[in-house]
Structure 1
Amino acid sequence: MPADDVRTDIRHFLTSRRARIPPSKPACRTSADDARSAACAARKSPSSRPSASSTRLERGNVGGVSEEILDSLAAALQLDDVERTHLAALIRAANAPHRTADRDGGTSHVRDSLQQILDAMTGAAFVRNAHLDVLATNQLARTLYQEALDNDDQPPNLARFVFLDPRARHFYRDWDGIAHDAVGSLRTEAARTPGNTDLADLIDGLATHSDEFAMRWDAHDVEYYRSGQQRFHHPAVGDIDLDYDALEIPADPGLTIVTYTLSPTSAYADVFRRLQEHIAAGASPRRPPPAFAESGESA
């Protein structure tokens, strides 16, 4: 992402965050003779009163932004921790010297020991990179995600599945939520690695072929997919709600293990058991073929 594009992203992000802040005061009654109405008119909503720091950033002046300024902006614009981190990443990217293209976050190599960890888990688990490419699974995850994984994309990409495969709207019972998370995750990664040409190609392709993705991308929302509950509709066993956790791997920057587990008291215990029984003998390979993994390429 060129520096000028980063500055544009900063401007759009700040204006989009300010626009979402509701007016804090009721509309003022105007009266030429009423001093109180003049004072009331001066108290505009936060969305109409950009701070000096915000205006400065929107104009492309990104130098010398301290932690104190960031904290002040975050408070004024009511940013959460994820949004503040995103803004800081954009500012760092805009201030960084010219960067050559990189593939940071799009690694496709999964160590054998990680596959062993997946195989030892009783829940469904897979490894993905920051581009949302699925690089390795255990058998239960492959059974759960069979529609997303069994396609011509290698490695399979969850964002492409969500926005380009009509089956995704049936598979994810909260499709709107997973679509929001997918776009937010990619936008967060785009700010973190502005020279990532593979990620830029992925985003351009999604925006070209999906109006829904393009609309959500333009909203400038950011998200971390960390933990919560995902509501699925599996084609073989029906509805099932699973708890998920996304565990970043410090030894492999850019890689994350995503696990899906079920509480012993869950109402979906019988469905989960049927899902386990549905694991077919001779399932498809759990990871890309070695030639792909060693090439360093990414979809």
Structure 2
Amino acid sequence: MDQRDEVTAFLRSRRDRITPEQAGMIGGGRRRVPGLRREEVATLADISVDYYARMERGDLRGVSPEILDAIARALRLDEAETDHLYDLARAAEPRPARRRPGSRGDQVVRPSLQRLIDSMGAAVWVRDRRMNAVTANALGRALYAPILDDPEARGNTARFTFLSPAAATFFPEWESSADQLVATLRGYAGQNPRDRPLTDLIGELVTRSEAFRVRWAAHNVRHHRTGVKRFCHPLVGDLELTYEAMDLPANPDWLMFGYTAEPGTPSEERLKLLGSLAATDDPLAVVRAPL
């Protein structure tokens, strides 16, 4: 991914979606663009047209936080989009990005972390920012078994979603799940533009999946923090689960996800059943199975 092209495509995609009426622009005659013109964005941000044009050509070097905030307001960026703009600006600086401790290739799970995960009653699993599974507790592994055991996915949620025929069944709301996954992956790519395994994964999916390619070209971003996920599990059927995402500071590249069901719902009963089925296996085999 060329960083300047990323900046250009992101800014253009954001201004294309805002109509002059939404921005409070009056008049302007015939228009050749679907949304705002460059000069209109510059006016809304209170900067020169030349300065904004330089930014949209992909040059964010030296752009101040105040200007970035003004552009975010002009383009009506949400929190995730604003953070992405800041990530793109940081990546444009000439100094090399510092490698965060534990940010690449550290796949050794500390025993203390595994004990914590195993002690939780929720379905818990940990993945990295390339969508690779790292570890899970017994219930988490049972929940995500269709992904973890899929030969095409190889433990990677993105590969499963876009390359495995089983994905459309496992994710009943596949379209929205796919939208959210790509938007999350776009955010990770903005944070780590020099992460070769991440760019290799994106390149693979762009090449092999038209559905991924179309979504990637939209340049949407989102934070993956909390929400509701629906599954059609091959063992217990339909599940509607709420998830919470947690950072792991000792491993900045990893995120831990916990899934629970609303009390008294069919999903709670089915999740308990799944836990019972997982408990009938050798616990060590479930927990330590390759992820």
TM normalised by structure 1 equals 0.83
Give the C-alpha shift of residue 11 in structure 1: 0.4
- The question of 1:89 aligning with 2:87 is answered yes
Judge conservation of contact 2:6–2:58 (CA < 8 Å) in 1: no
Which of 9, 27, 40 in structure 2 is aligned with 1:40?
27
Which of 76, 79, 82 in structure 2 is aligned with 1:78?
76
2:57 aligned residue: 59
Which of 16, 19, 37 in structure 2 is aligned with 1:22?
19
AA aligned to 2:59 is N
Report Cα offsets for 1:224-249 as digits up to 9, x if no partner.
Answer: 11001101111111111001011011
Matches within 5 A, 1:263-278: 263-278=262-277
Question: For 1:85, what is the secondary structure of its paired residue?
Answer: helix
Question: For 1:253, what is the secondary structure of its paired residue?
Answer: coil
Query: Distance between the aligned counterparts of 1:150 and 1:63, measured in 2?
Result: 44
Percent of matched pairs sharing the same residue: 37
Change (3 A) 1:251 1:216: same
Change (3 A) 1:240 1:285: closer
Change (3 A) 1:288 1:276: closer
Q: Which has the higher contact order (CA 8 A, sep 6+)?
A: 1
1:69 aligned residue: 67
Which consecutive unaligned segments of at least 5 residues does structure 2 have? Answer: 43-48
After alignment, is 260-269 or 169-178 more displaced? 260-269
Question: For 1:78, what is the secondary structure of its paired residue?
Answer: coil
Give the C-alpha shift of residue 254 in structure 1: 0.9
Question: For 2:28, what is the secondary structure of its paired residue?
Answer: helix
Report Cα offsets for 1:109-146 as digits up to 9, x if no partner.
Answer: 22111111110011100011111110101111111111
Report Cα offsets for 1:37-70 as digits up to 9, x if no partner.
Answer: xx73369886233323432211233222111111
Change (3 A) 1:109 1:152: farther
Query: Distance between the aligned counterparts of 2:253 and 2:99, measured in 1?
Result: 16
Change (3 A) 1:70 1:83: same
Judge conservation of contact 2:147–2:155 (CA < 8 Å) in 1: yes
Report Cα offsets for 1:69-104 as digits up to 9, x if no partner.
Answer: 111100111101110110111111112335699994
1:224 aligned residue: 223
Change (3 A) 1:259 1:285: same
Query: Distance between the aligned counterparts of 2:17 and 2:106, measured in 1?
Result: 36
Change (3 A) 1:178 1:101: same
AA aligned to 1:253 is P
TM normalised by structure 2 equals 0.85
Root-mean-square deviation over aligned CA pairs? 2.7
Query: Distance between the aligned counterparts of 1:196 and 1:177, measured in 2?
Result: 26
Judge conservation of contact 1:106–1:131 (CA < 8 Å) in 2: no
